[in-house]
Structure 1
Amino acid sequence: MEELISAIKKMKIKGDKVSVIDFLKVVMKLIPPSDDIGISLAKKGTHEYVLDRRGLAIISLSEDEYLPFFSASEKRVELDSLPDDVAKIVRNNWKEILDQLRDYVLDYSKIDKRYSKVVDEITDAVFKNL
């Protein structure tokens, strides 16, 4: 878990896009192996940036003009193409991102008990960086 603590410290000190991407790479490693888990990083208009264990996805929502429902499309992009303004949001909201991760890992630990330790490590990383 030292890797997470180090990535948070580096991101808080440097604050550049590279350190944010390094932080997200560490977070990706901690996401449980489930296709149902995605961490919301930021919302910009009709686009939501989501991090899952496979990388970064941009989810675009649109409301059908004539029908009463939404449609969504997903586009996979490389972490390097993360927009600067989204990187700034991630840098400022790192704790909320780890809170989402902790909640997902806590739920997953009910299936796989090995993840109980990961919950404690994420919590420790948050408290050591407040």
Structure 2
Amino acid sequence: MPTNSVILNPACIKTLAAVEARPERSNQHEFNGVTALKSLFGHEKTDLQALFSVRGESAHHTAKVTWYDSRENHPTRSEYRLYFQNNPVMERAQAGDNMLIGFIQGQLHCILIPNDPASYPGWTPIA
């Protein structure tokens, strides 16, 4: 991941909750999905390879992600989630860090922004 400015389009950002950042809090590796993530991934189950990185660092790690409806068998209640394989970037994540998710030329990027003072309690689209 380049250390200079990048343009992700489309993209969204969220401040991570403890259950999203620390697997020992929920024993899961996933981000809860809402409208902003649905605009990125749609309504169908999708498997992708994502590049995980930390803002300002050149290293990146590839990990599989799966977008899915965890309640697909319930006719009236959907609950979308973005599952990610464990990787060195997410091992560093802490509650309160921001996660920027978006595409660069069709490649999914998940960029961890540690200790960012700005807070995004839900997935927020970025214009």
- Do they fold alike, i.e. is TM over 0.5? no
More strand by share: 2
TM-score (norm. length: structure 1): 0.29
Please tell me whether Structure 1 or Structure 2 has the larger radius of gyration of its CA atoms: 1
TM-score (norm. length: structure 2): 0.29
Q: Which has the higher contact order (CA 8 A, sep 6+)?
A: 2
